[in-house]
Amino acid sequence: MLQLAAVALANHAAQPAPQLYWNSVLPNTQMPRAISELLHPGQPENTVLPQLARRPFSYKSDDRPTDNQLHYKNVAIFFLEKDMRPGTTMSFQFPRNSNTATFLPPERAQSIPFSSNKLPEIFNHFSVKPTSVEAKTIKQTIEECEAPGIKGEEIYCATSLESMVDFSTSNFRTRNVQAISTEVLEKGATMSMHKHTTMPGLKKLAGDKVVVCHKQNYPYAVFYCHVIKPTAAYVLSLKGDDGVKIKAVAICHLDTSEWNPKHLAFQILKVKPGTIPICHFLPTDHSVWVPNHKSA
């Protein structure tokens, strides 16, 4: 008995602090891979990868499709709810953000400025030259976090796992939640473009209110979390023409009336704002949070 207790204590002590917090607040919620992969030591805190694309398909009123977005116009970035029926085939890929920066303890994250008013101090902290690509990445991430959302959208940039958990559970006013991410189920699977067929077993998650958290490019793990009603979330099984199976999370925005009329989704689907729900898959390093039951 004493040996078992010692082993249990050793395992508990070996767990990263964010894992311990998750277990204490969400003991019945499985941690999605998009989050669990960021609990272990990764790249140094003073490194920022020069990759500027973060949340490329924004729907804010002042946004315009970028050249990168237009490049993928013939790919099923956006689709309609009916396209999730079994047997439907779409071409797309699930690229992974190459920034594998891990979570900082909340006390450490709070001690580092995260404000456009403190950019010189931030650059100095991470030993980043103000004219570098890394500095541009930091600046764009912070500015996006500070920008106002569209009507009815609540935005929060979580700089620690603990703050992401707190934001998500407070929105549902319950800790009885699910957190899910898209997962490529085969190891070593390529992330290139493939045709994927929807398999039977489509599951709609509870409620019409979801929290979606998008991984950002930053020296440590930062997630752009936002809430928009009404929104539906689904989990479905896909099979690629290369045989790779994917557990995909799809988000369907039920009201697009506040979106920029020139948004890429309307160009791809040839529909107008506010006329029909528009759906998209979540990349593998993003996560969606939903209540296990309908909450007020």
Provide mean pLDDT across the span 171-176. Answer: 90
Answer whether residue 71 is part of any domain.
no
Instruction: Name the residue range of residue 30's domain.
Output: 17-40+77-291
Answer whether residue 155 is part of any domain.
yes
Q: Whole-angstrom Cα distance, residue 36 to residue 282?
A: 17
Q: pLDDT at position 194, please?
A: 83
pLDDT above 70 for 261 = yes
Q: Whole-angstrom Cα distance, residue 68 to residue 272?
A: 22
Provide mean pLDDT across the span 69-80. Answer: 58
Answer whether residue 51 is part of any domain.
no
pLDDT above 80 for 276 = yes
Among 104-108, 206-210, 290-294, the least confident range: 290-294
pTM passes above 0.75: yes
Among 2-16, 39-53, 138-152, 182-196, the least confident range: 2-16
- Say whether 246 sits in a helix, a strand or coil: strand
pLDDT above 60 for 170 = yes
Provide mean pLDDT across the span 125-143. Answer: 94
Answer whether residue 72 is part of any domain.
no
The structural domain count of the chain equals 1
Helix 17-25 and helix 161-172: axis angle, to 10°? Answer: 20
Answer whether residue 226 is part of any domain.
yes
Answer whether residue 65 is part of any domain.
no
pLDDT above 60 for 63 = no
Q: Whole-angstrom Cα distance, residue 274 to residue 284?
A: 28
Residue 284 identity (one-letter amino acid): T
Q: Using the structure block, give the residue that is written with the tokens 């894992």.
A: 19
Which residues are CB-neighbours of 191 under 8 A, at least 6 positions away?
93, 94, 95, 96, 184
Q: pLDDT at position 64, please?
A: 45
Q: pLDDT at position 73, please?
A: 42
What is the average pLDDT score of the chain?
81
pLDDT above 60 for 59 = no
pLDDT above 70 for 60 = no
Q: Whole-angstrom Cα distance, residue 198 to residue 281?
A: 12
Which residues are CB-neighbours of 149 under 8 A, at least 6 positions away?
60, 155, 226, 228
Answer whether residue 156 is part of any domain.
yes
Return the higher-pLDDT residue of 41 and 162: 162
Answer whether residue 55 is part of any domain.
no
Provide mean pLDDT across the span 210-232. Answer: 92
